Structure 1
Amino acid sequence: MKILERVTMKNQKGMSYWGLLGILAVGGLALTCVSKMGPAYIDAYYVEEGLRHVAKNDNVDSMKRGEILRELDRYFTINNVRGEPTKAVRVVSSTEGTIVSIDYELRVPLISNVDVVMKFDKQLNTNQPELCCDALVDLTEIENQ
């Protein structure tokens, strides 16, 4: 039994230098991705919550374009949403109601000449506020009518 223990203990070795280096490289890449892409997803979360905030208003179906924009701008200011999401807000009136769309694309440099492109598309139809935040309508068709 002692011989068997000695043989198995002799065969056990720790992680090699290359194994440790590989794990550190993968961990570093993961941390880089999270630190570069994380803020964009946090902003996208607050964009969706802003649309839900507007949808919770009792008179959302009768709100004018300016009122909707003011309400969203106030929510974005409080939650520190800046940049592309605030510029991409479009309010389109149609026969089916008012549609608030926040459709934007972000390009974030990841490593050297490698970029990550993230696309976000959220919509609110004021006649159907319970269906908030999924892109249900193609706005180009409505704007061409």
Structure 2
Amino acid sequence: MRTDSSQRGLSSIGWLLVIIVVVFACMCAAKLTPVYLENYYIVNGLKALAENNEESLKRMSRAEITRKLESYFSINSVRSPGAKELEFIQNSKGIVIVNQYETRVPLIANIDVVMSFHNVLDSSNPDQCCEPPPEAEKP
């Protein structure tokens, strides 16, 4: 019975590489997850605005919409400057609220990760909240 040569495991260099990859993945998750969570709360704020005020959303002023969203963001501790980058587009069917922003997160030394978000709420079609329009997806 030759147990010495048939039972081999990872070498110490192999284990070191596995540990480095796991630590890097955990570090990326720890730095990027809060940004995605803030965007999640921004999307939920827009959805809550659409669900609670479906008909009155068309008649609300920009100041009222901004105040309601800021109240929602304050309750959910959304501190991202991207949450305040709202663009209002008035059309014949109602109002379109566009929240488009980029966030830069430092990863390692001088390496940054840039994430861009594009959330759209159309008062004439609130069911498709927070999906960018088809023309915005074209490069």
Q: Please confirm whether the aligned pair reaches a TM-score higher than 0.5, indicating the same fold.
A: yes
Structure 1 residues 40-79: aligned runs within 5 Å: 40-58=35-53, 59-79=56-76
> Structure 1: which 5+ runs fail to align?
1-5, 140-145
Instruction: Name the residue aligned to 1:3.
Output: none
Q: Kindly provide the CA deviation profile for residues 12-70 of structure 1, in whole angstroms up to 9, marking residues without a partner as x.
A: 12321111100110011101101111110000100100000000123222222111111
Contact 2:82 2:103 in 1 (8 A): no
Secondary structure of 2:52's aligned partner = coil
Give me the identity figure in percent.
36
> Structure 2: which 5+ runs fail to align?
none
1:131–1:40 distance in 2 versus 1, CA, 3 Å: same
Contact 2:38 2:80 in 1 (8 A): no
| Structure 1 stretch displaced more, 93-102 or 36-45 | 93-102
Paired with 2:134 and 2:25, the residues of 1 have a C-alpha distance of 35
> How many aligned residue pairs are there?
133
Letter aligned with residue 39 of structure 2: A
Paired with 1:81 and 1:128, the residues of 2 have a C-alpha distance of 25
Letter aligned with residue 123 of structure 1: V
Cα deviation for residue 138 of structure 1 reads 6.4
Contact 1:47 1:85 in 2 (8 A): no
Paired with 1:61 and 1:97, the residues of 2 have a C-alpha distance of 5
Bigger-Rg structure (1/2): 1
1:138–1:81 distance in 2 versus 1, CA, 3 Å: farther
- Does 2:110 match 1:113? yes
Contact 1:104 1:119 in 2 (8 A): yes
Letter aligned with residue 86 of structure 1: A
1:123–1:90 distance in 2 versus 1, CA, 3 Å: same
For normalisation by structure 2, the TM-score amounts to 0.88
Q: Kindly provide the CA deviation profile for residues 44-98 of structure 1, in whole angstroms up to 9, marking residues without a partner as x.
A: 1001000000001232222221111111001100010012222212222122321
Paired with 1:46 and 1:83, the residues of 2 have a C-alpha distance of 10
